[in-house]
């Protein structure tokens, strides 16, 4: 992720997690999870679309459920943080691009 357009955003996000008292293990896991997404989509944050997120989440099908959930949470967190920090316009989040509940 060293040359990625998202590197500054991710580093600032991880710094905020540390300042907020998140454990070193959480920060390390989020760093790894976000690096995984960056390998999948090395473009700038403002080019992340719902389609990109669906494709990425689909690429995780062979991972353990806990791994998929953690990577989705890391991605949703950094996208929401980037919007709140003014680093990005409103972006889709993994939670808004997947249908997890059956209609009743």
Residues 6+ apart with CB under 8 A from 42: 4, 5
Q: What is the CATH number of domain 7-96?
A: 1.10.150.130
Position of tokens 């690096």?
A: 35
**Taking the complete model, does pTM exceed 0.85, yes or no?**
no
CA distance 9 to 12: 5
Q: What is the pLDDT along the chain (104 residues), one digit of tens a residue?
A: 556 778 889 999 999 999 999 999 999 999 999 999 999 999 888 899 999 999 999 999 999 999 999 999 999 999 999 988 887 766 666 655 554 444 43
**Domain definitions of the chain by residue range:** 7-96
Q: DSSP labels for 2-49?
A: TT-TTHHHHHHHHHHHHHTT--HHHHHHHHHHHHHHHHH--S-GGG--
């Amino acid at each position: 992720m060293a040359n990625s357009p998202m590197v500054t955003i991710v580093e600032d996000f991880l710094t905020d997690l540390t300042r907020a008292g998140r454990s070193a293990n959480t920060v390390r896991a989020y760093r790894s999870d976000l690096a995984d997404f960056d390998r999948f989509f090395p473009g700038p944050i403002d080019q992340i679309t719902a389609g990109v997120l669906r494709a990425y989440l689909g690429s995780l099908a062979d991972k353990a459920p806990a791994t998929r959930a953690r990577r989705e949470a890391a991605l949703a967190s950094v996208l929401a943080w980037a919007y709140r920090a003014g680093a990005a316009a409103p972006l889709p989040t993994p939670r808004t691009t997947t249908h997890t509940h059956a209609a009743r």
